Amino acid sequence: MRRAPAAAKSGYEQEAVAILLTLLHLGIKNIRLGPSLPAFVTPNVLDVLVKNFNIMPITTPDEDLKAILG
C-alpha cells in the first residue's frame, strides 16, 4: 500500500477541519467523527464539542445506522 505524501495528508486534514468548523458555525449538531479525531481536538476541546454540539465518535456501520435511523 502506498502512503500519501505528508503534504497531501496534511491538506486532507486541513480540508476536513475546515468542513467541520463550517458545520459547527452553521449550528449543525450530532456529527459523528472518525476513525480518528483531528489533531487539534484535545481532551478539553472534545469536551466542549460534546457538550455544545453532541459530537460523537463513529462506531460500526450497523450501530451508526441504527442510531441515526432510530
Is residue 35 domain-resident? yes
Using only C-alpha atoms, the chain has a radius of gyration, in whole angstroms, of: 14
33 strand-pairing partners:
57
Look up the CATH number of the domain holding residue 19.
3.40.50.2030
| Per-residue model confidence as pLDDT tens digits over 16-53 | 889 999 999 999 999 998 888 877 788 898 899 999 99
**Tally of domains within the chain:** 1
Residue 67 exposure: Cα atoms within 13 Å on the Cβ side: 12
Is residue 1 domain-resident? no
Is residue 29 domain-resident? yes
pLDDT at 5 over 80: no
Is residue 39 domain-resident? yes
Cβ–Cβ under 8 Å, residues 32 and 54: no
Residue of 23, 20, 29, 21 whose CA lies nearest to 52: 29
pTM of the model: 0.70
Q: Which domain holds residue 29?
A: 6-69
Which residues have a Cβ under 8 Å from the Cβ of 20 and sit 6 or more positions away?
Answer: 31, 33, 38
